């Protein structure tokens, strides 16, 4: 069908441009000399403008109409129809956003991310606030428009839908409330448990060069190639780890702390989980809308599956702990394996989301979700953020925030305009729990493979059950296809309770 | 004037896009994982397509016409008129070349560069010839069209004008013929001179990590900031060194050879010379056509000034040699300063242009210029290139080419379609000679500054006399503005004779 081919040509250009923008953004974060920031924001704004013009090209609207009213429309297969659906959704959203708003948002978020870094280093909320206010105002304008286009009940739902298509704040509220109950219950059992971990040896110094070798070894374990002459990835250093890229060039970053070597170990596994998802998408879908991850939450399910369910398991460390000791020249040679595994799974309410354990992590997300919801319902102002933040941390996690760098300014998301993203992290855990439940049925002895240091059986299962579907389904439908079930919190809570009861002996 | 502002808006987008492409290309050369090459060529092709459309936007033609026929045209100042002139020139050239020819040339040169690498490795001219023939045919078609647009006397002149605006092959022939005489005279004096250098100690091993520190030190000496939190540059590694970027983000590359440490020293000074030119352009001209280097030749004058006139001077090494010994842990501590300076200035007729010394370098260029001129006048065929090449090397440099990889296939320029570029290299030396002569009048004690390791007086002079003019003048006019003179070969020959008579004691 000719208009379909025409639409796919347009999609190819757009996806190629987006993959180019990803490289330019990656460079900003990893390699760009400091003085380049002004020019870089101009470049990103221009790419955004070009992308927006390509995306809103009236020709696309005509092609979509021609396809949908075509006599052979019904002969399109599921994949082709999904491509048309995704293209139409993107087109409808984009044509409603004024170019001036899109360009200004690109420019302002680039500046605000830069400003956030400086303000965070200076622990100065007042320095960051004006930038954040501008970004918030721009996103609110966009949310108002998107709410109309998408027909979501609130403007915050419209933002959530950008990352988690079809998900609503109401569903999230409902499942998060059950999650909170379950997590608090486990937290309480852990607190009173007979076995308590000692994690002090995790702060032993490991030189950065050694940590780089450990990072490479982790990448190798999970089959993320950053070294060979067929490598399709690389590992660099940024303040805040992330993954970016497209198919044959997907890059991750990490942060090495001399006295917290495990931080980078789990960052690399986490980001590596994102990377192998991207690289596990069907290659023949490259340059088609369907050739992408299903949602941010599904993406997080993959990164957390690799980081936590695989990477923090006793079985994996049974295999890797001797290797770790070899790589570090025996820095933990006096530590028992069991004590090490307990230490890297220590449950402790804390201030920093990215350092949180699997049990308390969800509470960090609930705080952000509640704040965003109020903020976009105009029941909270940017001005009030630090105060509300600190109160919620006291109430939910029992910790006192002493300065805003370890509080409201800890994450880059808001500076980058990614309001509505945070729920995806917790949804990722929930999806992952359901996937694990299913995988356990299909590979009952999967822990034996992990014990041997073999990740490839799990990787194959993820490829065959998650990656291969790309963006063929909205996340809720995908979970149904994979597991046969609706969204359920129980598998994730069962996984946690099972794991922590063994570690803590409660 | 409204149409002028409109034109400058268009220019800004185009220059921003070009600076973005530069980053994407830099990444391809320095950081991209190997598997990314297919995607990267799609990305670069798309950027090129977008750039060509922006460049040939009929709106630009209308704006230019509106400006030139505007009642207030005469009230535009010199800078504004130059911006209009440069925009018009670029627009006229781009719109006259059929898109089919542009696309086919991009495709064919990419293939030919790839084919050149393979043929060079295989030392097989017959393998390369068909590719080169196609590139030559395409460039000849373009040259025929450009000759009409530009009104140049020959089609080769039209190609030269792309790199050296306003320069003609007749002028180049005249000055090259005098240059040849002068260079041969110096070569002869050097050959029979009493003092001959021994350069064997230059092949002593210097670890790559040490060489990186030396590179940083070189950058620091010339005020090219790659380290501070206000840095606007960086140094990476590639097979062939290059400089790329725009204003506040200008990057250089180098290649470290363990047993040829001086190679990287002079690469960094050379590329650093390009970089400080880019960064010395008036910042308020950013995103305007006039905010660019004046020509390839003027650019080469700056890189060679820093590399040779400063970087290979006895005065500089009087300052830096002890530091070099410190950085290398005394790898040359048994070598006298004078012997070292003589070694890095050794004159020796050779086969490879990029390894040539300051005296013989020009002869390599004359050979290429003469060949290109004949080739585009249809007095020479692609078939005959190796034979003519080898004959000229025998005649001009007295060396026997044993295979075409060290002969006609040594450079990438022709495969890449850059016919007409080579003269710029030698013109850079000639311009540089005139600049040095002028600077010597204005800073008579400039060598004293160099002896103290201070480059900043020279840098200021270059900024005030070269950089600050950006692309306000065609190169011949710029030289007149800087020195008050026409193009003259004598200053360059005087500089060489003075330097080498002292080194060789003739």
Looking up tokens 């013009």 gives A53
Say whether B43 and A16 touch across the interface (CB within 8 A): yes
Closest chain A residue to the Cα of B13, Cα to Cα: A46
Query: Side-chain half-sphere of B450: how many Cα atoms within 13 Å?
Result: 21
Per the residue annotation, which of B93, B271, B300, B372 is the catalytic one?
B271
- Taking 90 as the threshold, does the pLDDT of residue B271 lie above it? yes
Distance between CA atoms of residues A191 and A329, nearest Å? 34
Mutate to test the interface with B, among A14, A40, A42 (most CBs of B within 10 A): A42
Residues in chain A within 8 Å Cβ distance of B23: 23-24, 27, 43
Average pLDDT value for chain B: 96
Which of the four pLDDT bands, split at 50, 70 and 90, describes residue A106?
confident
Lowest mean pLDDT among A37-51, B165-179, B472-486: A37-51
What pLDDT was estimated at residue B99? 84
Nearest by Cα to B162 from B93, B95, B103: B93
Give residue A103's pLDDT: 87
Rounded-to-integer distance, Cα B299 and Cα B270, Å = 10
Query: Which of A21, A25, A39 best tests the B interface by mutation, with the highest count of B CBs <10 A?
Result: A39
Count CB-CB contacts under 10 A for residue B175.
20
Q: How many CA atoms lie within 13 A of B15 on its CB side?
A: 20
* pLDDT over 90 at B500, yes or no: yes
CB contact under 8 A, A232 and B27: no
Q: Do A20 and B47 touch (CB under 8 A)?
A: yes
Nearest Cβ partner of B43 from A19, A31, A233? A19
Picking from B33, B39, B225, the nearest residue to A233 by CB comes out as B33
- Best mutation site among A20, A41, A223, A247 for testing chain B: the one with the most B CBs within 10 Å? A20
| ipTM of the complex in this document | 0.93
Cα–Cα dist B300/B308, whole Å: 11
C-alpha torsion sign, points B283, A112, A91, A1: positive
End-to-end distance of chain B based on CA atoms, in angstroms? 63
- A36 pLDDT exceeds 90? yes
A34:B226 CB<8 A: no
pLDDT in tens, A207-246: 999 999 999 999 999 999 999 999 999 999 998 899 999 9
Residue B481, pLDDT score? 98
CB within 8 Å of A246: residues ≥ 6 apart = A15, A18, A19, A22, A278, A286, B39
First to last CA, chain A: 63
> Which residues does chain B have within 8 Å of residue A246's beta carbon, measured at their own beta carbons?
39
Contact by Cβ (8 Å): B483, B438: yes
Q: What mean pLDDT is predicted for residues B163-187?
A: 97
| B249 with A39: Cβ contact below 8 A | yes
Residues in chain B: 506
d(CA B283, nearest CA chain A) in Å? 12
| Weakest mean pLDDT among A37-46, A178-187, A432-441 | A37-46
Give the pLDDT confidence score for residue B428 in this predicted structure.
Answer: 98
Strand order in the sheet with B243-246: B235-237, B249-254, B243-246
- The CB density around residue A399, as the number of other CB atoms within 10 Å, is 17
Distance (Å) from the alpha carbon of B231 to chain A's nearest alpha carbon: 6
The predicted structure's pLDDT at residue A176: 98
pLDDT greater than 90 at residue B317: yes
Chain A nearest-CA residue for B287: A39
DSSP alpha helix (H) spans, B281-415: 296-304, 314-327, 337-343, 361-376, 385-392
Residue A107's pLDDT is what? 87
- A141/A163 Cα distance (integer angstroms): 18
What is the pLDDT confidence band of residue B110, given thresholds at 50, 70 and 90? confident
Digit-coded pLDDT (tens) for A465-501: 999 999 999 999 999 999 999 999 999 999 999 999 9
Percentages helix, strand, coil for chain A, rounded to the nearest 5?
70, 5, 30
Q: ∠A459-A464-A465 over CA atoms, to 5°?
A: 100
Mutate to test the interface with B, among A36, A231, A285, A291 (most CBs of B within 10 A): A36
**From A32, A231, A248, residue closest to B249, measured CB to CB:** A32
Q: What 8-state DSSP symbol labels residue B232? A: -
Q: Which of B218, B212, B231, B249 is nearest to B316 (CA)?
A: B218
- What whole-number distance in Å separates Cα of residue A272 and Cα of residue A217? 12
Q: Which pLDDT value is given to residue A225?
A: 98
Give CA–CA dist A183/A497, Å, rounded: 9
Q: Are B328 and B210 in contact (CB under 8 A)?
A: yes
CA–CA gap between residue B289 and residue B303 (Å, rounded): 22
pLDDT tens readout for residues B377-427: 999 999 999 999 999 999 999 999 999 999 999 999 999 999 999 999 999
Rounded CA-CA distance A159/B341 in Å is: 66
Contact B238, B253 (CB under 8 A): yes
What lies within 8 Å, CB to CB, of A249 at 6+ separation is A19, A23, A232, A233, B32, B33, B35, B36, B39, B40
Percentage with pLDDT > 90 across chain A: 97
Catalytic residue IDs of A:
271
The pLDDT value recorded for residue B470 is 98
pLDDT digits (tens, 9 = 90+) for B79-90: 999 999 999 999
* Structure tokens given for A52: 């927006």
Distance CA B93, CA A101 (A): 35
Choose, out of B11, B20, B245, the residue to mutate when testing the contact with A (most A CBs < 10 Å). Answer: B20
Strand partners of residue A244: A251
Nearest to B34 among A42, A50, A229 (CB): A229
pLDDT digit string (tens) for B329-373? 999 999 999 999 999 999 999 999 998 999 999 999 999 999 999
Q: What is the mean pLDDT of residues B225-243?
A: 95
Residue A406 CA: distances (Å) to CA of A425, B398, B450? 19, 71, 50
CB B367 within 8 Å of CB B198: no
Q: Using a CB cutoff of 8 Å and minimum separation of 24, what contacts does A117-125 make?
A: A117/A239, A119/A409, A120/A405, A120/A409, A120/A410, A121/A405, A123/A403, A123/A404, A123/A405, A124/A404, A125/A386, A125/A404, A125/A408, A125/A409
Q: Which residue of A has its CA nearest to B26?
A: A27
| B16/A234 touch (CB, cutoff 8 Å), yes or no | no
Chain B residue with Cα closest to A35: B232
Per-residue pLDDT, B364 = 98
The secondary structure of residue B310, as a DSSP letter, is I
The C-alpha atoms of residue B321 and residue B311 are separated, in whole angstroms, by: 12
At residue A253, the 3 state secondary structure works out as: strand
List helix spans (H) across B242-360: 261-280, 296-304, 314-327, 337-343
Residue for token pair 């307990």: A342
CB B450 within 8 A of CB B383: no
User: What pLDDT was estimated at residue A354?
Assistant: 86
Binary contact (A230, B43; C-beta < 8 A) = no
- Residues of chain B positioned with their CB less than 8 A from the CB of A248: 33, 35-36, 38-39
Instruction: For A128-150, write each residue's pLDDT tens digit.
Output: 999 999 999 999 999 999 999 99
Interface of B with A (CB under 8 A): 13, 16-17, 19-20, 23-24, 27, 31-36, 38-40, 42-43, 46-47, 50, 225-226, 229-234, 246-249, 251, 286-287
- Residue B271 is among the residues annotated as catalytic for this protein: yes
Q: What are phi and psi of A24, to 5 degrees?
A: -65, -40
Q: Is the pLDDT of residue B206 over 90?
A: yes
Question: Comparing C-alpha atoms, which of A354, A309, A287 is closest to residue A458?
Answer: A309
Query: What's the per-residue H, E or C state across A88-139?
Result: HHHHHHHHHCCHHHHHHHHHHHHHHHHHHHHHHHCCCHHHHHHHHHHHHHHH
With beta carbons under 8 A apart, name residues in chain A contacting B38.
Answer: 248
Subunit contact A232:B46, Cβ cutoff 8 A: no
CA dist A99 to A95, A412, B301, Å? 9, 24, 43
- In this structure, are residues B460 and B444 in contact, taking their beta carbons and an 8 Å threshold? no
Residues of A in Cβ contact (< 8 Å) with B232: 33-36
pLDDT in the model for residue B41: 87
Tally the C-alpha atoms within 13 A of residue A131's C-alpha that lie toward its C-beta.
27
Dump pLDDT digits (tens) for A51-62.
Answer: 999 999 999 999
pLDDT number for residue B100 = 87
Query: Would you call A220 exposed, middle or buried from its count of C-beta atoms within 10 A (0-12, 13-18, 19+)?
Result: middle
Counting one residue from chain A and one from chain B, the pairs whose CB atoms sit within 8 A come to 98
| pLDDT(B75) > 90 | yes
CA pair distance A22, A243, nearest whole angstrom: 10
Per-residue confidence (pLDDT) for residue B45, from 0 to 100: 87
Among the partner-chain residues A24, A33, A249, the one whose CB lies closest to the CB of B32 is A249
Q: What residues pair up with A243 in beta bridges, in sequence order?
A: A252
The confidence score (pLDDT) of residue B172 equals: 98
Instruction: Quote the tokens at residue A212.
Output: 């780089």
| Closest by CA position to A80, among listed A336, A266, A288 | A288
CA pair distance A443, A423, nearest whole angstrom: 29
C-beta atoms of B248 and A16 within 8 A:
no
- Residues from chain A contacting residue B247 (CB–CB below 8 Å): 39
What pLDDT, on a 0 to 100 scale, did the predictor assign at position A99?
86
CB atoms B229 and A34 under 8 Å = yes
């Amino acid at each position: 069908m000719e208009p379909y081919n025409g639409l796919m040509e347009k999609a190819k250009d757009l996806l190629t441009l987006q993959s180019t923008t990803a490289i330019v953004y990656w460079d900003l974060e990893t390699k760009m000399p400091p003085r380049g920031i002004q020019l870089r924001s101009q470049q990103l704004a221009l790419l955004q403008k070009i992308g927006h013009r390509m995306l809103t090209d009236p020709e696309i609207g005509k092609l979509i109409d021609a396809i949908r009213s075509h006599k052979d429309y019904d002969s399109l297969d599921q994949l082709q129809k999904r491509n048309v659906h995704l293209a139409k959704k993107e087109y409808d959203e984009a044509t409603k956003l004024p170019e001036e708003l899109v360009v200004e948002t690109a420019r302002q978020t680039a500046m605000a991310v830069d400003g956030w870094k400086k303000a965070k280093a200076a622990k100065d909320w007042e320095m960051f606030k004006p930038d954040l206010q501008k970004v918030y105002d721009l996103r609110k304008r966009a949310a108002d428009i998107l709410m109309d286009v998408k027909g979501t009940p609130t403007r915050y739902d419209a933002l959530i839908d950008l990352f988690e298509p079809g998900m609503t704040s109401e569903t999230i509220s409902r499942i998060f409330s059950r999650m909170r109950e379950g997590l608090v219950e486990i937290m309480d059992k852990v607190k009173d448990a007979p076995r308590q971990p000692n994690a002090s040896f995790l702060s032993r110094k490991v030189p950065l060069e050694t940590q780089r070798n450990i990072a490479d070894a982790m990448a190798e374990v999970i089959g993320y190639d950053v070294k060979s002459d067929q490598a399709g990835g690389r590992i660099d250093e940024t303040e805040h780890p992330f993954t970016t890229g497209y198919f044959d060039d997907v890059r991750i970053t990490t942060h090495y702390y001399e006295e917290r070597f495990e931080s980078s170990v789990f960052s690399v596994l986490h980001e590596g989980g994102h990377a192998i998802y991207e690289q596990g998408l069907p290659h023949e879908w490259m340059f088609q809308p369907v050739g992408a991850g299903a949602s941010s939450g599904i993406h997080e399910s993959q990164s957390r599956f690799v980081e936590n369910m695989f990477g923090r398991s006793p079985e994996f460390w049974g295999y890797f702990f001797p290797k770790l000791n070899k790589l570090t020249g025996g820095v933990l040679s006096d530590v028992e394996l069991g004590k090490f595994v307990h230490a890297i799974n220590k449950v402790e309410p804390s201030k920093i989301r990215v350092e949180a354990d699997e049990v308390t992590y969800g509470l960090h997300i609930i705080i952000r979700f509640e704040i965003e919801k109020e903020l976009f319902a105009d029941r909270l102002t940017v001005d009030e953020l630090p105060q509300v933040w600190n109160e919620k941390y006291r109430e939910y996690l029992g910790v006192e925030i002493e300065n805003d760098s370890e509080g409201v300014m800890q994450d880059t998301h808001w500076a980058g305009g990614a309001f509505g993203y945070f729920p995806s992290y917790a949804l990722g855990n929930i999806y992952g729990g359901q996937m694990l439940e299913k995988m356990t049925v299909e590979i009952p002895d999967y822990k034996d493979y992990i014990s041997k240091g073999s990740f490839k059986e799990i990787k194959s299962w993820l490829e065959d059950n998650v990656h291969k579907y790309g963006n063929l389904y909205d996340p809720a439908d995908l979970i149904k296809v994979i597991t046969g079930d609706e969204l359920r919190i129980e598998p994730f809570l069962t996984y946690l309770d099972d794991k922590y009861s063994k570690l803590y002996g409660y």
